[in-house]
Structure 1
Amino acid sequence: MARLTDYLCELVELLGHPDSVHFDSVTEGSACLNTHIDDSYYQHVVHRVREAGQNVGPKRAIKAYKRLASLMEEDRVDGILRTDDAQILQFPKVKSSAAPLVVIKQGSVQGRLYIVGGKDDTVPVRLEGANGETLLCEADTHLAEELGKLLFKHVRVHGKGEWQSRPHGGWRLKKMFIHSYEKLEKSNLKGTVDRIKRAGGMLWDDQEDPHATIHELRS
């Protein structure tokens, strides 16, 4: 369900005109998402979609197209957009490759907490990542009760996660069981620098050659 939501969110951005494009149904079979478009905006939507596939047009539509293509590549599926009698857009075909590697390890993720709920001893927890992706997590009832007080806040959670390799490098979190967390405080650059100064650290004025010191630290 969460993964389907990721697809629908990007599809909304790709099609545009949210007041005139309506979710209709899901056809049985290969997750065919059906939409109904008001007649007055039909050609606008078709034009927008075709342009996005050619990397032209509104930036939000292009970004949504690329995100949909990325989701399909990660899930190793193909996709098209079509009307009843014609194909509008073909997403890039997924190249045959080895199955993604899955590992279990301790890790951390952060994002905006927007769901804490459930009736079982293991409680579903959902975070929205920096790119709008859904981060699937779980927690015991005690920790979930504490997290519930931070709903719609930004948090960093730590725990044992199931991570899947991405086709072009990096890892995607599939699921994490949270062991601990911390609330993230919003701060501007000036406030952050002030806190660093108050915490102490290296005093550049005391260095004979600050530039040489920086070069040495970076090497």
Structure 2
Amino acid sequence: MTVDADREATFKLQLEGFRLEDVPLKQLAEYIHLLSNLLGSPKTTHLTSVTTGSVRMPIAVSPEGLPAVLERMAMAMHEDGGAARAAYEALDSCLAANGGHGWIEDCFTGKKILSLPGVKNLASPLPAFWQDDTLQGRLVAIAYRISEDDFSGRIQNATGIEFFQCSEAVAKGLAPLYLQYLRLYGKARWQRRANGEWKLREFKADRAVVLKNDNLVSIREEIKKAGGFGIENPDDSFNELMDVRG
């Protein structure tokens, strides 16, 4: 089945575990729908063909849509990738349910850029829940529009890079705060892992507060101005602490 064989492909979805002639048309349509959800840019992405044998779907992405598609796939690789990760997991679960697996590769380099383990990694996901929460760190990116309503961003903190999503209005407010240390307020979706640890799966920010970048000297001065720690003679603080220890 060929949709537009003349269009140059950017990426290719490769599905293994079954042959095209064995896949019902309804199931094939579901794969295409889930792939579209994953890429997230229906106006700039186009299926060029579906080949016989194992299922191969070359996808053409227009130059103006490529950054957003790459951002979606980058988010899909991370457990806190929000809607992009959810779309990835939906496609992978569908593959698993049908006994397949696959990957998305770059047609220009031939490199696999997103793996879909499918049936190879079949496991029942643990439940997740939403709660009011905060995300804190240095704002290192306000990226691309990843859906009609959302933009993506990234916060760097002690644990690494955390993805978040926000509205266009919030994104505009965050743009001047690039590389500053922030506390984002919003909704977080957490999921418990099999080993008992909690993992942030998605964060939707609705406002931000700039954190003070105080050093120890300025903090010490503020404490002194506020009356110190209640020690009348700071020079004798060591002896007072020793008395407390007994």
Structure with the greater relative contact order (CA < 8 A, sep ≥ 6): 1 or 2?
2
Greater radius of gyration (CA): 2
TM-score by length of 2: 0.43
